[in-house]
Amino acid sequence: MELEYIKSGDYLIPNLIANNEPSEPLTKYGLMRHTYLKEHKRGIYSGMLLEGTLKEHCLMIQKQAEERMDVLVAQMCCAVSVENLHSFICEAFTPVIPSCLSSYYFEILCEV
């Protein structure tokens, strides 16, 4: 890798350009992964931060966790009788899932 330099007065300054990071925001699971790496895996965190792959990695983990959460919710709801399905979703996941999303999960389960 050859660096380009810009002359500024008597000094040569390296022309460094940072990698573009994904613009998607990190949500719960991405932030949890970020915090875990930062607090418990400092070497991996520092390496990914320097390479510019940290946010991309956290977004990948976030996507996988959200997909897995959808599968787990569907499996848990399938274990409950159909008559109690909607009340089960409301009671079990109200702290986790906003009320507007409970109908979303209900629709997913109807397709399964």
- Per-residue pLDDT of 58-108, as tens digits, reads 999 999 999 998 888 877 777 765 556 666 666 665 555 545 455 555 555
Number of domains the chain contains: 1
Give the model's pLDDT for residue 13.
92
Q: Say which amino acid occupies 59.
A: L
Residue 12 inside a domain? The answer is: no
Range of the domain at 41: 22-111
In-domain check, residue 40: yes
Residue 14 counted as domain residue: no
33 located within any domain: yes
In a domain, 1, yes or no: no
Type of residue at 60: M
Question: What whole-number distance in Å separates Cα of residue 73 and Cα of residue 103?
Answer: 12
Question: Is residue 62 a part of any domain in this protein?
Answer: yes
When pLDDT is averaged across residues 10-32 and rounded to a whole number, the result is 89
**Residue 99 placed within a domain:** yes
Domain annotation covers residue 107: yes
**pTM, rounded to two decimals:** 0.61
